[in-house]
Structures are given as C-alpha cells and as structure tokens.
C-alpha cells in the first residue's frame, strides 16, 4: 500500500551479468521503474552502472531520461569496501537518481529503496494515465474523464 493505492510489484532480477545482457533487455520494455544495484566491494560492478543505465534507457518505450530508477550499493555489511560512498553519491546526483546503501543480508534500507522507486513509478504512471484521459476521445457528450484512481497500479520493475 502506497499513498492509499494498492500496488502489485512484479520484480525481475536480471542478475547484471554481461552474458545475460541481450536476454534481459526484453524485461525493460513495459517496465515502470528500475533498480540498478552494485556491490560496494567490487569497483567493476559500480563502473558497469553507466552501461546498464544506458541499456535500460535505450530499451524503454518511450525513451525518457525521467524514467524512475534508484541505485543500490549492496553488501554494506562487509568490511572490504572498494567503492567510496562519495563517488556513488556524485554519480547519482549528476543523474538525479536516489541512492541507497543497503544490505540484503541484514535487511538494511531495502524496503525504503523499493518504496521510493514504487512511489516514483506510481507518480509517473498516474501522470501518464491522467494525460491520456484528457486527450482520449469520449462519448457523444464530449471528452471522457477517467477518475484519477482508475490506474492499474501494477508496477513492473527490473532489478
């Protein structure tokens, strides 16, 4: 439940491995948001975010820079951090993407990250439905206005 709207999240974990890149791009089409995750103990995984972000933006329809995303720096429970928090925050600020330091193992900030992404995706989808309702041809009496809560609150996300 988010802002009095029941959401059903469909979440696809694409693994982030290069060998699956051509297959996972089909998951991007029709999705309403994306979580870009990297391992804070692996600099290469952070450096790959640009490639994955670009791939997502190139495949979504319509292509737009305001597509909802969040970045997760995972494994903050481990001691051997290689990716400085300041570097990630700068990258995310430059692209206007929220950043969360998380531990999936210890359940730190995971729920908050999903809530922020779901909220942004819901706002985007709500805005699109309302805009479509304004231009949709109506009955013989003129334009047909859809109630704002009539959106299908099913948000697809790639992780």
Per-residue pLDDT of the chain (159 residues; tens, 9 = 90+): 677 777 777 787 777 666 666 666 677 777 888 899 999 999 999 999 998 898 888 888 666 667 899 999 999 999 999 999 999 999 999 999 999 999 999 999 999 999 999 989 888 776 655 454 555 554 444 444 433 333 333 344 445
Residue 22: how many CB atoms within 10 A of its CB? 9
Element (H or E) spanning 2, and its range? none
Structure tokens at 42: 């692996």
Sheet holding 69-74, edge to edge: 8-12, 154-158, 33-39, 69-74, 99-101
Report the predicted TM-score, pTM, of the whole model to 2 decimal places. 0.75
Q: How many CA atoms lie within 13 A of 74 on its CB side?
A: 13
CATH architecture for the domain at 8-133+147-158: 3-Layer(aba) Sandwich (3.40)
Q: Measure Cα distances from 143 to 48, 134, 146 in Å.
A: 47, 7, 10
């Amino acid at each position: 439940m988010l802002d009095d709207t029941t959401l059903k999240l469909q979440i696809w974990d694409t693994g982030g491995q290069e060998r699956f890149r051509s297959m996972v791009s089909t998951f991007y089409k029709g999705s309403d948001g994306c979580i870009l995750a990297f391992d804070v103990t692996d600099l290469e995984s952070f450096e790959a975010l640009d490639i994955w972000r670009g791939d997502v933006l190139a495949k979504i329809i319509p292509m737009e820079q305001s597509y909802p995303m969040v970045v997760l720096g995972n494994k903050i429970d481990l001691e051997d951090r290689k990716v400085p928090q300041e570097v990630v925050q700068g990258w995310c600020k430059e692209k206007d993407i929220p950043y969360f330091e998380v531990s999936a193992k210890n359940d730190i900030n995971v729920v908050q990250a999903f809530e922020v992404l779901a909220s942004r995706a819901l706002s985007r989808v709500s805005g699109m439905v309302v805009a479509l309702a304004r231009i949709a041809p109506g009955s013989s009496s003129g334009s047909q206005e859809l109630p704002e809560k009539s959106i299908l609150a099913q948000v697809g996300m790639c992780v």
